[in-house]
Structure 1
Amino acid sequence: MNERVALYGHDTMGLGHVRRNLALAAALRSSRHSPQVLVITGATEAGRFPLPDGVDLLVLPGVAKDESGGYRSRRLHAPLADVVALRSSILTAALMSFQPHLLVVDKVARGFAGELEPILPALRDAGTRMVLGLRDVLDGPPAAATEWRTLQTTEALRHYYDEAWVYGDRRVSDLASDCRVPPSVRRLLRYTGFLATGRPGTAAGPLPIPGGEPYVLGLLGGGQDGAELAEAFAAAPRPAGVAGVLVTGPYLPATTRAALHAAAAADPDLHIVDFCADPISWTRRASAVMCMGGYNTVCEVLSTDTPALLVPRVRPRTEQFVRARRLSELGLVDDMHPRDLTPALLGHWTAEAVTRPRRPRLGVDLCGMDAVRHFAEAHFEEARRAA
C-alpha cells in the first residue's frame, strides 16, 4: 500500500499552522512508511518554504483574522461565506481524488467555518483514518473551554475522529483540563511532546554577519503582530562587540519594515532579514534569542541551549502568554509581558543573557516528532487491515 497523508491547516493568521504541518510532513516522510503527503493551506507564503521530496501543497483562497478576532476574505473581494463555500468545494474535490489513508486536521475539527464537514463522512466511509492535531495551548483556559464548545469539537471528535494528537507535554500544559474536555472523548487524546528535537531543518543561508562574531537574534514568526518587539529590539542597547540580527517575517507592516531597514542603515551592527525559512541553525549559534511565543518558534528555541526571552502577544488570544509563562515557571525560558517591553529592559536582559552558562533544557518532553511518526505508523497499519 502506497500510504497517503493529507495535512489540513486553515491558516487565518501568521504562518504557524503551515510551518507546523510542513515540519510534520518532513517527519512523516522520514518514517518507515514514507507516505506521500499533501499539505493543505490558506497561506500563499507556504510556497516560499522548501518542500521535501514526496510532499506537495494545495493552496486554498485565503482567509484572514483581524485584530478583534473576526475573519474576512484575505484577497478576494467577496463575502466570507462565498469564500468558505469555494474552499469547501475545492477541499471536497481534492480529498476525494487524493483519498488519503490518514487525514490530520490542525486545530479546528470541522475545518474553518465548517468547511470540512461535507467531506468528512465520505472520507470516514472510505476508510480514511482521521486525527485532530492540537497545539499545547489553544488560549487562556476559560476562553479555550468556550471555544471548544462553540466549535462543537467534542461532537466532531465523537463522529469522525480516531485520535487527537496534542503537540505538547502534559506536565507543562494539560489541554484536557484547560479546555474542559469531557471524559467521553479524553480517551482520544495522545500527548506527543513538543515538536522540537529532531525537527526537520533546511539550510538557513549565510548569516548577515562575519563568521564567529557574537550576535543576539530576534524572531517575529510571521511578523503580523511583531512591530512592538521589532522596534524595541532595534533600539535596545547591546553589549560591545555583539551584533543584532532580526528576522521580521513576511507579514510585518510595511511602515515598520521600512523603519527597521533605515535603523540598520544607521547602525552597522544591526541586520534585518525579511524572511528565513528555517532559523534553527541561527538560533543555535546565537548568544541569546528574543522572540514572541508562537508554537513553532518556541519549539525551535527549546531544541537549543540558547538563552531565550519570550515576549508573547496577548490579543486576540492569550495562548502565547500562557505558553511563555508556563515555560518560564519551569526555568526553560525567560518571559516578559508586552506591556513591560522597552528597549532598556531588552538591553538589560541581553547583557546578562550573553554571559549566562548554556544549559540543555531538561525536564520536558521535546520528542514529539518521534511520537508522531510512531502514532502515524499505527494508523497506517489500521488502514492496511481495513483495506
Structure 2
Amino acid sequence: MDPFDKFKVLMYSHDTFGLGHLRRSRTIAHALVSHFPNVEVSIISGSPVVSAYPFEDRVDYVQIPAAHKLSDGSYVSGSTTSTFDDTISRREALIDEAADRIDPQLVIVDKEPLGLAREMLPALQRLKERGATTVLGLRDVLDAPELLREEWARKHILDHLETLYDEIWIYGPGSFYNPLAGIDLPEAVLSRTRYTGFLPRALPETGVAPNDYGSGYVLVTAGGGGDGYELMAAALNVIKQGLCDHLSFLFVLGPFMTDGQRFEIMARASGVANVRLVDFDANLEVIVANARAVIGMCGYNTFCEVMSFDKPALFIPRTAPRREQSIRAHRAEEFGWVDVLDIESAKNPHRFLAAINRLLERAPPSTAVARPDMDGLNRICALSEILLDHRTDAATVAATLRAASL
C-alpha cells in the first residue's frame, strides 16, 4: 500500500464505564494519523466526556447516547428519561448512519466484538459485505478465563467472530498474558491473532508543559473515578494521620466519581496541607510524567502511562465486576515492574504506609530484567499497512478476473 493513499478508519468504543476505551481508541487514532499522511479516523464513542479531549487533525468523533455499567455488571441508560432498550436503539441507528456515511476501508472495534447489546453487529456485517477490513482490538487482560468464557457464551460471540473479523489485535506482549486463554477458539481465528505490545503514551509535542500542579508529588489516580472511592479514602486515611507529612500528594478524582463521594473526599481533604485535589484533567500524561511515583488501580491506560514514563507504582486493583485489574497488577508484579496491595490491606493505615515507603524506594520498571514491551503503536501502524496491502491486492485480483471474464 502506498502510505500516501487516502483511506478512512472507523473505530468503535462503547464506553459504558470509565475512560479506558475512549482513551485507548484516541491513542491509536493519533498514531494512525501520525503514520499515514492521508488517513481520516472517526471514533464512535458513548463517553459523555468525549468532547473534553483534544483530537489531532484528521481525527473526529461521533458521539452516541451514554449507557452506564453498574457495579453488578448490568447496564442502564445514561439518561433518566430513556430505557436501556431505547438507548441501544438510538445508539445503533447512529452507528449505522455513521458507518454508511463514512464508508471506511478499515474498522477497529474496541473490546466488545458485537458492540454493546450487539449494537455494532448490523453495521459490521454491512461493512464486511462492502469489502471493509475489520479488526477486533483487545486489552492485554479482559477478565478471569472462566468469567470471560461464560460471558462470551452468553453473548454468542463465537457464532460471529470468524466471519466478522480479519484480525484480532491484543494490546500487550504475548509473554505477559493471553486474554483469550479460556476460550476454545477455532484455528482460523487463532491464526489471525496478533500481539502488539503495550500502547505507549507520550507528552504533547511541547514536552512537559508547565502545569498548575508542580512536580515531585505522589499521584493518586483512579482513572475515570467511578470505582475509585475506596482507594482515595484509604490514601487520605494514611495522610490525615500525619504519617506522610514529608510528601506531597496530588489526587485526581475522575469525572465519574459520584457527587456524594466527591463531596466526602473533598471535605476530608480540606485543610490537609500536603494534599491537592483535581476533579478531572484530560492531559493525565503530563500529570504522570511530573509525578515522583504513582498510586492507582491498574486500569490499562494508567498502567501504560506508568510504563511509558517509567514511574515507580503501587497498584491497588479492583476485583469486581471484573478481575482484569487484579490479574494485570499481579502479573506486572511478577515481572518486577510494580508493587501491589489489596484494598483490604490498604484500609489498614500502617500497611498502606509501609507500602508507600516501599514505593518511594522502588526502582522504576526499566530496571527490571525483562522490560515492558511498549512498541504497540508502531506495530499497529505496520499491521494496518499490511492489512490494507492485502485489501488492495485482493481488489486488483478481483478486477483482473472481472476483466478476463468479459
Could you state the TM-score of these two structures normalised by the residue count of structure 2?
A: 0.89
Q: Offset at 1:65?
A: 0.8
Aligned: 1:346 with 2:348: no
- Once the two structures are superposed, residues 79-119 of structure 1 have per-residue CA deviations (whole angstroms, 9 ceiling, x without a partner) of 22222122111111111110111000111111111112222
- Distance across 2 between alignment mates of 1:249 and 1:335: 21
Of the candidates 16, 19, 26, which is equivalent to residue 23 of structure 2?
19
Secondary structure of the corresponding residue to residue 121 of structure 2 = coil
Aligned to 1:331: 336
Q: 1:164 aligns with which of 148, 151, 168?
A: 168
Look up the match of 2:382. 374
Partner in structure 2 of residue 99 of structure 1: 103
**CA RMSD, Structure 1 to Structure 2 (Å):** 2.1
1:232 aligns with 2:252: no
Residues 103 and 375 (structure 1), Cα distance of their counterparts in 2 relative to 1, 3 Å cut: same
Q: Residue 275 of structure 1 corresponds to which residue in structure 2?
A: 280
Q: How does 1:256-271 map to 2 (within 5 A)?
A: 256-271=261-276
Corresponding residue pairs, total: 385
Q: Which shifted more, 216-225 or 30-39?
A: 30-39
Following the alignment from structure 2 to structure 1, what is the Cα–Cα distance between the partners of residues 131 and 378?
Answer: 25
Q: Distance in 2 between matches of 1:370 and 1:78?
A: 42
Could you say which structure has the larger radius of gyration? 2
Which amino acid in 2 is paired with 1:20?
R
Aligned counterpart for 1:284 among listed residues 269, 285, 289: 289
* Counterpart in the other structure of 2:402: none
1:197–1:367 CA contact under 8 A, matched in 2? no
Gaps of 5+ in 2: 396-406
Aligned sequence identity (%): 34
> Contact 1:208–1:271 (CA<8 Å) still a contact in 2?
no
Whether the 8 Å CA contact 2:201–2:285 is kept in 1: the answer is no
- Equivalent positions of 1:348-363 (< 5 A) are 348-360=354-366, 362-363=370-371
Give matches, 1:141-290, under 5 Å: 141-196=145-200, 206-209=210-213, 211=214, 214-237=216-239, 239-290=244-295
Question: Residue 400 of structure 2 corresponds to which residue in structure 1?
Answer: none
Partner deviation per Cα, 1:207-238 (whole Å, 9 max, x = no partner): 444x45x3211111000000000111222235
C-alpha separation in 2, matches of 1:337 and 1:124: 44
Q: How does 1:304-323 map to 2 (within 5 A)?
A: 304-323=309-328
2:270 is paired with a residue whose SS is: helix
The one-letter code matched in structure 1 to 2:152 is W
SS of the residue 2:122 aligns to: coil
Shift of 1:55: 0.7
In the superposition, relative to structure 1, how do residues 117 and 186 fare at CA in structure 2: closer, same or farther (>3 Å)?
A: same
Q: 1:200 to 1:324 in 2, by over 3 A?
A: farther
SS in 2 for 1:236: helix
SS state at 1:37 partner: strand
Structure 1 CA distance for aligned equivalents of residues 288 and 107 of structure 2: 32
Q: The residue matched to 1:133 in structure 2 has which SS? A: strand
Given that residues 127 and 386 in structure 1 are in contact (C-alpha distance below 8 angstroms), is that contact kept between their aligned partners in structure 2?
no
2:78 paired residue number: 74
- TM-score of the superposition, structure 1-length normalised? 0.93
Distance 1:108 1:358, change over 3 A: closer
CA distance in 1 between partners of 2:331 and 2:118 (Å)? 32
Deviates more, 1:78-87 or 1:329-338: 78-87
Is the counterpart of residue 364 in structure 1 residue 380 in structure 2? Answer: no
Query: 1:84 is matched with which residue?
Result: 88
Closer, same or farther: CA 204–114 of 1 in aligned 2, 3 Å: farther
